[in-house]
């Protein structure tokens, strides 16, 4: 397996956590520097025409893209420990929580969107930061409300089993510091994230633990 990665990529953080939880290690990790725009160069655009990380190349050459699709592939091919609950309603809730982050929020704050705001609409740096802060906070409000009021919330988002929702939540929290969002008003989110980040599989996948990362972001 080859993982196309960049230290700061939150979507790749999700895949790194899942690989760690499944006890898998890519044979090669290929750095695609998002800050230098390497994702738009031909070499990577051929791998993932969406020009976005992560991408995972399997041993038979199959290219997997989109972090949630990769998480479910890893779960289907390496079922232990499971990353989705068995019961249909619980699976729907877990996928819903994950999608609030991965589908409704994260796509609004990725480099290509921030750069488009800056270059096409001349939004200045504080304006772009405000944009990111806004969408990031909106998601956290929705997540906190759901997690703090649902009887299904336990040690983790869904009971006491780690799921793709926790993986996405860890990424959301890691992105919070970038957009200067304080997690204190979201105590249930913070509790679950702290529980996750105390685990080695999450901790060593963290963006700041990757090669090339600064001491603090």
Ligand X SMILES: N[C@@H](CCC(=O)N[C@@H](CS)C(=O)NCC(=O)O)C(=O)O
Residues that bind ligand X in the complex, under the rule CB under 6 A:
9-11, 34, 39, 51-54, 66-68, 102, 107, 110-112
Q: Quick one: tokens of 56? A: 């995972």
* Residue with smaller CB distance to ligand X, 2 or 191: 2
Nearest approach in angstroms of CB 67 to ligand X is: 3
Exposed e or buried b for every residue in 70-87, given b needs 16+ CB within 10 A? bbbbbbeebeeeebbbee
Nearest approach in angstroms of CB 148 to ligand X is: 26
Nearest approach in angstroms of CB 42 to ligand X is: 15
Is 100:135 a contact under the CB 8 Å cutoff?
no
Nearest approach in angstroms of CB 115 to ligand X is: 7
Q: CB neighbours (10 Å) of residue 120?
A: 8
* Residue with smaller CB distance to ligand X, 18 or 147: 18
How far does CA 70 lie from the centroid of its chain? 12
Nearest approach in angstroms of CB 202 to ligand X is: 17
* Residue with smaller CB distance to ligand X, 67 or 161: 67
* Residue with smaller CB distance to ligand X, 32 or 153: 32
* Residue with smaller CB distance to ligand X, 55 or 192: 55
* Residue with smaller CB distance to ligand X, 52 or 169: 52
Q: What phi and psi values does residue 136 have, to the nearest 5 degrees?
A: -65, -45
The residue whose two tokens read 């956590």 is: 17
Q: Quick one: tokens of 20? A: 């760690």
Taking the chain, what is the end-to-end CA distance rounded to the nearest angstrom? Answer: 29
Nearest approach in angstroms of CB 33 to ligand X is: 11
DSSP assigned state of 153: B
Distance CA 16, CA 26 (A): 9
């Amino acid at each position: 397996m080859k993982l196309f990665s960049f230290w700061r990529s939150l979507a790749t953080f999700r895949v790194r956590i899942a690989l760690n939880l499944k006890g898998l290690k890519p044979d090669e990790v290929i750095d695609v520097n998002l800050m230098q725009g390497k994702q738009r160069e031909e070499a990577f655009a051929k791998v993932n025409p969406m020009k976005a990380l992560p991408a995972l190349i399997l041993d038979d050459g199959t290219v997997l893209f989109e972090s949630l699709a990769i998480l479910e592939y890893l779960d289907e091919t390496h079922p232990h420990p499971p990353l989705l609950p068995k019961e249909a309603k619980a699976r729907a809730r877990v996928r819903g929580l994950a999608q609030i982050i991965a589908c409704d929020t994260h796509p609004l704050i990725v480099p290509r969107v921030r750069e488009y705001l800056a270059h096409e609409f001349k939004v200045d740096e504080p304006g772009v930061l405000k944009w990111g802060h806004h969408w990031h906070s909106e998601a956290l409000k929705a997540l906190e409300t759901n997690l703090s009021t649902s009887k299904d919330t336990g040690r983790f988002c869904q009971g006491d089993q780690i799921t793709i929702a926790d993986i996405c939540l860890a990424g959301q929290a890691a992105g919070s510091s970038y957009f200067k969002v304080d997690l204190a008003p979201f105590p249930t989110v913070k509790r679950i994230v702290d529980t996750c980040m105390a685990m080695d599989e999450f901790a060593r996948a963290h963006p700041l633990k990757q090669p090339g990362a600064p001491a603090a972001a």
